[in-house]
Chains A and B, each alone.
Chain A
């Protein structure tokens, strides 16, 4: 009873005026912990989100050689593989990436991601019918990557490429996804925007590779 009586007055009477020494230290302790927590939170949050904010102007993208252009016959579409430029020791085989290389003529190429623009399943090229087909939800694309049918809302993702000294090089390094596939921080798209839905009657130039 005596302790209760002793504790009661500060609560009932003006609370701000009388703050006990111990109460003050407890509050100071809480403030001190909040300070410590916010200091430690900076590296923790930084670590947690480090995969998003890579401190490079072009994000994860690099120019990757695919091989001599002589390996890609004109008018044909071939599967090429490359190792992702950003590799971790535990990646194993998953660092390898495949892409479809279409050599239109000379040094004119189209390099497509294997990932379907719908949900990223690997599309397969059928030279006989000139179509890329997706095994998952049935998306199909024409030889120039334009959407032919099925659920995809756009054509295949295309890597920017350049040909130097007879070697084709593409800018790659990030999984192409259908959302705003543009890299958030670099402002540079990992895959150049692809022409939307090319109509068969459309005047888009495409070299017929039959035969």
Chain B
């Protein structure tokens, strides 16, 4: 003990860090902030450190070269002892980090912690969120597989829509004219040097400000933030009802940090690393690229927006969103902190959460994408061709061969891009079916040039059989009259 104390004294005589560290640890915090709601900031920091460590470990083996990155990931997964686990930790760590940063942000917002005098802490937090997302995207690129390759293509396509500067931005982003080795190298530099360096600096500032300005007190309905009086009130509060951060509040942070580390490790252990999926070979076009979890909502949004709105939303949306987040503490820097007195704040959070959640959920089964193999892999259910005429059966064949199935489901299999056709005969008359097939419309391509009259007749005959039992197919009453007058002129060639 004596020796340890002496060594400690020797170092502290030179470093002079003990006093400021003790002061930091023992600074008084309002008693009711020692809450489980206040653990997400330290949890985000914990995962950041974890990502830092696992990232360095991965860099020991990973090769940031377009030609070799994919095989070095395979080596990590299969050849290097425990490489799969470290990859799993890093990949799951990124998912956890995005999630925890978002939860932290929501908590801070609902507790009014962005208000005076913590505006700058919030603004730096917004930059930290953007950097976290930047790390998530660039990390997905470093997993240089098919998803990464085509994901870059999507990024380039979005960037190219910037007026005038678009093509230059694309070349700058790709490091050349195409997605290739130079692209990976620059995303490696971003992911490993540029963004982490900025992150460290901003995290330090963020934490420093929390220490200097004090942790946000538990919001009480009716306790109004005013610029003139807040700091004195906060001071009085910590004096009257404060407790030292260590150990009064820190134990919850410690518990949650350990829990998060174990959760990341457990996810890595049970679910394993992410990918890599197929080799990043642009000549293999049999691929269905999909972004990682945290960008699925964007993927859905890009599918569901009307084409004319896409470019404005893509280019203006992020600017408005980021500007809104940055301006928030200036727009509502004073006033009520409690979520109980801020219904619009609560509704905004709910609206955004539900929107993102719904988009993410939709992106899970992609109703907007054709099922590229449905035409050859999903058979027409037996019950739909049982007891049907030869013509209708021929039509069922046309239905499959012409890839109708890729966009239209039958018996709950097939694409969901177009309407399901299980009861299409109830909705459309024969004439309407023929018109729809030949001319398309309503987001359906026109098949007029790719179907012979005989094929169209057969296909429509099949579609007319698709109606529930006991429900008659739709029928144009005037047609009965017309057909009874002339003797079916269409039958003769």
State the A residues within 8 Å of B (CB): 49, 51-52, 59-60, 79, 81, 84, 86-98, 114-115, 118-124, 126, 128-131, 133-138, 140, 142-143, 148-153, 173-175, 177-184, 200, 206, 208, 210
Contacts and interface: CB of A to CB of B under 8 A. Distances in A.
Given A59-B177, A97-B178, A135-B370, A181 B302 contact: no
Interface stretch (B51-59, B132-140, B146-154): B146-154
B183 to A, nearest CB: 8
A138 B417 contact: yes
Interface string B463-483: 000000000000000000000
Nearest to A116: B157
A93 B281 contact: yes
A189 to B, nearest CB: 10
Nearest to B71: A92
Given A94-B281, A175-B174, A206-B449, A138 B166 contact: no
A115 B150 CA distance: 9
For chain B, what secondary structure do more than half of its interface residues adopt (helix, strand, loop), or is it mixed? Answer: loop
B181 A180 contact: no
A122 B282 CA distance: 8
B160 interface: yes
For chain A, what secondary structure do more than half of its interface residues adopt (helix, strand, loop), or is it mixed? Answer: loop
A71 B460 CA distance: 37
B369 interface: yes
Interface of B: 65-68, 149-150, 153-154, 156-164, 166-168, 170-172, 174-185, 279-283, 285-289, 299, 302-303, 305, 307-308, 310, 368-370, 372, 375, 401-404, 406-407, 417, 438-440, 443-450, 452
Contacts of A173: 177-178
Contact of A181 (B153, B160, B401): B160
Given A129-B402, A131-B403, A148 B445 contact: yes
Given A52-B172, A89-B181, 12 more contacts: A51-B174, A81-B283, A91-B66, A94-B280, A95-B180, A121-B289, A123-B285, A124-B372, A136-B150, A138-B368, A142-B449, A177-B160
Contact of A178 (B161, B282, B372): B161
Given A93-B280, A97-B282, A120-B153, A60 B370 contact: no
Contacts of A84: 177-178, 180
A118 B157 contact: yes
Nearest to B446: A200
A182 B164 CA distance: 10
Contact of A200 (B178, B401, B448): B448
Given A121-B150, A178-B157, A136 B166 contact: no
A135 B289 contact: yes
A130 B174 CA distance: 33
A52 B168 contact: yes
B68 A135 contact: no
Contacts of A180: 160, 163-164, 166-167
Nearest to B287: A122
